[in-house]
Amino acid sequence: MSRRERKKEETRQRILDAAMVLFQRQGFDAVTMERIAEEADIAKATLYSYFPVKEALLVGWMQRLTAELRPDVEALLRGQAGTRARLKRLLVLFGRIAQERRALIERYALFRISSRERFCGDPTLRSGIDGILTRILSEGQQRGEVRNDVSPEELTNHLESLSLSALMMWLAAADDGGQGPRLEKIVDLFFDGIGGQ
Amino acid sequence: MSRRERKKEETRQRILDAAMVLFQRQGFDAVTMERIAEEADIAKATLYSYFPVKEALLVGWMQRLTAELRPDVEALLRGQAGTRARLKRLLVLFGRIAQERRALIERYALFRISSRERFCGDPTLRSGIDGILTRILSEGQQRGEVRNDVSPEELTNHLESLSLSALMMWLAAADDGGQGPRLEKIVDLFFDGIGGQ
DNA sequence: CCCAAAAACCATACGTCGTATAAAATAAGT
DNA sequence: ACTTATTTTATACGACGTATGGTTTTTGGG
């Protein structure tokens, strides 16, 4: 890793730090890109070279979070549970995170749900969680627990769509009752379909 | 219906006509809101009072299309087929429309997939198709063909998410092979889940 | 060490979306 | 016909994201 790349990564992190501090203080909309650039002490054009759209900052933040959860996820994957239980545990884990930072998560989900890149496979704007989902689903196919007439990537997209949709519905319903988005139900729906029982 | 309401409706249709002509000539992005206002011979502020965001014009267009398809849909609903077959026919019908106007449909789907209103229930930006979906699913529950531990509205949201996700994947894959987005498969997935075979 | 080539960065202007505001025009009710 | 409420208009504005053209920093080779 050259000096250049190291410096770039450093700047990237500094931008992300600055942005997240501002977001959490004033909210996503109230913070302008110029303000973030100023806080990170770079020009606006430079900021845009690192994060091509404002929401990309949230993606970077999410990637950090998933990196921090890496150990938990690995433990979860090493467990001998079935595919359904694995998916549930993974999504519930992320559902808990969603509960803590509702406002920002909502913006993230909205962007994520509609980003073209999700359907093409541009890795720079990948969420981090979908790679894990694909792994679980792929293994599930090999074990025969999951139908294999659809590719793991497509299944991932579908499951992610369902999850994000459920997340948005939960966010839209103001009265959460403190129980968070119940993504286990989504997994069951995804597994069993709407026909069975 | 008062003169005022009639005039408003008339203006609305004139705007929609102007916008769609321009969109189909130059593409969605190349047409500015000012240009549309000019073409419809109103001020920009007035345009925004009718269509609060640019994509709302696409929603209006889609509502027109669904209104035109109304007879077909009614025939489809009168048929005695099961819920699965009904859903398939309905979605395939709309899939064919998608095939014709790919570019605009993509913009529409992107907006629709991410519009908050979808999760709240603001009827002004409803698609027109989701009402029908809810009807089919609700009847399916009464007949015992569909599980009833989830509300028809939630099921609609989920199915719509899956369909839009499939639509976007199809659009992302440049080589369509002329067969359109295969939404029948989505219906099967939705019905049977990923577990069964 | 120095110098060119390449990459990163900067200041700035610009186009567009969508909002706000205050004035002008149109409709409705009496 | 006069007042009142609604709609339309002109205009300015803030913010996002793009484009341009020049300046600094880094890299690699003599």
Summarised one tens digit per residue, pLDDT across range A13-48 is: 999 999 999 999 999 999 999 999 999 999 999 999
- In chain B, which residues have pLDDT < 50? none
Mean of pLDDT values over A86-108: 91
Residue A126 has pLDDT above 70, yes or no: no
Partner B contacted by A72 (CB < 8 A): no
Termini Cα distance of chain B: 56
Q: Is the dihedral of CA A184, A186, A190, A194 positive or negative?
A: positive
Q: Measured in whole angstroms, how far is the alpha carbon of residue B191 from the centre of its chain? A: 21
Give the position of tokens 């089919």. Answer: B136
Q: Which pLDDT belongs to residue A80? A: 79
Tokens of B142: 């009464």
Residue A162 has pLDDT above 80, yes or no: yes
Distance CA B25, CA A196 (A): 48
Hey, what's the torsion of the CAs at A67, A70, A71, A77, to 10 degrees? Answer: 180
Q: Are B110 and A111 in contact (CB under 8 A)?
A: no
Tokens of A125: 């704007």
Q: Which pLDDT belongs to residue B121? A: 59
Partner A contacted by B111 (CB < 8 A): yes
Q: Which pLDDT belongs to residue A122? A: 55
**Of residues A110, A119, A172, nearest to B169 (C-beta):** A119
Contact residues on chain A for B183, CB-CB shorter than 8 A: none
Distance CA A138, CA A136 (A): 5
Shortest CA gap B34–chain A (Å): 24
Q: Which pLDDT belongs to residue B118? A: 66
- Interchain contact, B158 vs A164, CB within 8 Å: no
Q: Which pLDDT belongs to residue A121? A: 58
Q: Measuring from the CA of residue A34 to each C1', which nucleotide is nearest?
A: D15
Distance CA A16, CA A5 (A): 16
Percent of chain A with pLDDT over 70: 92
* Mean pLDDT (chain A, rounded): 89
Query: Which chain A residues in 143-182 lie under 8 Å from chain B, judged by CB atoms?
Result: 145-147, 150, 154-155, 157-158, 160-162, 164-166, 168-169, 171-172
* B101-132 pLDDT per residue, tens: 888 998 998 898 887 666 665 555 566 788 89
- Of all residues in chain A, the one with the smallest CA distance to B186 is A158
Q: Which pLDDT belongs to residue B189? A: 94
